[in-house]
Amino acid sequence: MMRAGRSSAENLREFSLPKQNAARRHCVLVKLTDEQMAAAEGWRSAHGIAEQSEAMTELIRLGLLSEIAKIFWLVSDKTPEKVSQLADSAMSDLNSPTLQKLVQTE
């Protein structure tokens, strides 16, 4: 029951669903050109991903990883052994079937 003198956030917490183990998901509206949409759909189809939202999420994740890798490359020890070790470590931390599939095919 909502009581007087409580904030709407406090009232909302009282009626919130139980927390789930999965990370919180956000819904985002994105505007794409026809070319961008066709490229994303082609990528989704080529990788056997059924859901469009799952494909978009994976593309965003891969893009972010790519940007992080670029920054890391600029500031790190770039010996081939070190890069290989770090790549192996990063791959073991990522539980993405899509990324694993990409790495295996290259």
Quick: pLDDT tens for 78-99. 666 776 776 776 666 565 665 5
Query: How much is the pLDDT for 23?
Result: 75
pLDDT band at 69 (very low <50, low <70, confident <90, very high): confident
Write a three-state SS string for 1-25: CCCCCCCHHHHHHHHCCCCCCCCCC
Q: What is the pLDDT of residues 43-65, one digit of tens each?
A: 999 999 999 999 999 999 999 88
- Size (the chain), residues: 106
Query: How much is the pLDDT for 106?
Result: 46
* Helix ranges restricted to H, the chain: 8-15, 34-46, 52-75, 80-93, 97-105
